[in-house]
Amino acid sequence: MKKKETVKDFLVITAGTVIVSAAVFFFLIPSCVPVGSISSLAMVLGTVLPLKISVITFLLNVGLLLLGFLFIGREFGAKTVYTSILMPVVLAGFEWLFPGYTSVMKDPFLDMICYLFLVSIGLALLFNRNASSGGLDIVAMFLNKYLHMELGKAMSVAGMCVALSAVFVYDAKTVVLSVLGTYLNGLVLDHFIFGTNVKKRVCILSQKEQEIREFILESLHSGATIYEALGAYDNAPHREIITIVDKNEYKQLMSFLRKTDRSAFVTVYTVNDVFYRSKIAGAKDRQL
């Protein structure tokens, strides 16, 4: 089973890497807008070095991998090594298949927008399989380890540095597009990574506890946890129902609450992801 899952992981990672490479080749490079990424840095260096983008990307990735293993440790694993080497190989393949490729959109801004959406899909596939595209991720780890900077902030800093490097070789319009694209890239990537997994944590205080609990368990087929609470105003004991539901279940639950108990006290929080072991899976394991 583990072997099958590993094969599936690397198939998805390969697909994600191909999508990222396609976004870089067909939209990022033609746009000449270096949105914060290792491929963008390769684009900037490509204006002064007589090398193809795929070769510069490969050299940068290998260099960063070596520095990562030397100064950060072996946490990268096979997935990071695989994606860091595969991406420039795929880029080289595109360069061979489409020599002299320019642009479909013929507009830097439209190319950048297409790049943002396509690369975010590819990166989301990688991140959901606990992999990365290497490159700036490794730079962020350096900043995290030696400057004690949060990883999210470190990624933003590294990306912005790459985007601002455009000032040395491109005009002011391209620099502005680079910075804007780097910022939008983070927003779009968050949407693709977290948007599909967003759930709602609903906390309910109601006199109709039994009815609400039965609705969650029997109609939504979801779980719930009940906590004993003490009211600060009247010192009276209350029972709080807490459940985590998806978007569709959330609509059904709120509709039920409005019909059942309009005086219920409800608070709702956004949850980006949930990790749990289902009872069905646990039962199957015990049978095996």
Per-residue pLDDT tens over the stretch 170-210? 888 888 888 888 888 777 766 666 666 678 899 999 989 99
What mean pLDDT do residues 260-282 have? 74
What mean pLDDT do residues 121-129 have? 79
Q: How confident is the model at residue 288 (pLDDT cuts 50, 70, 90)?
A: very low
Neighbouring residues of 271: CB distance < 8 A, sequence distance ≥ 6: 198, 199, 200, 201, 244
Residue 247 has pLDDT above 50, yes or no: yes
Q: What are phi and psi of 144, to 5 degrees?
A: -65, -40
Beta bridge partners of 240: 205, 227
Residue with tokens 């639950």: 253
Cα–Cα nearest to 104, from 123, 21, 15, 113: 113
Pick the CATH number of 198-287 from 3.40.50.280, 3.30.1330.10, 1.10.3720.10, 3.30.70.120: 3.30.70.120
Q: Given this model, what pLDDT does residue 266 score?
A: 92
What mean pLDDT do residues 142-170 have? 78
- DSSP conformational letter for 268: E
Return d(Cα 199, Cα 249) in angstroms, integer.
9
- The CB-based long-range contact list for 187-192 (8 Å cut-off, 24+ gap) reads 188/116, 188/117, 188/120, 189/120, 189/123, 189/124, 191/120, 192/120, 192/121, 192/123, 192/124
Residue type at 278 in one-letter notation: S
Q: Given this model, what pLDDT does residue 64 score?
A: 83
Return d(Cα 287, Cα 188) in angstroms, integer.
43
Grouping H, G, I as helix, E, B as strand and the rest as coil, residue 270 is: strand
Residue spans in the chain of domains classed CATH 3.30.70.120: 198-287
Return d(Cα 138, Cα 176) in angstroms, integer.
25
Q: Counting Cβ atoms within 10 Å, is residue 31 exposed (0-12), middle (13-18) or buried (19+)?
A: buried
Structure tokens at 62: 């290998």
Q: Given this model, what pLDDT does residue 280 score?
A: 44
Do residues 37 and 159 lie in contact, with contact meaning Cβ atoms separated by under 8 Å? yes
Structure tokens at 129: 């399989």
Q: For 39-79, what is each residue's pLDDT tens digit?
A: 888 888 888 888 888 888 888 888 888 877 777 666 556 67
Residue 284 has pLDDT above 50, yes or no: no
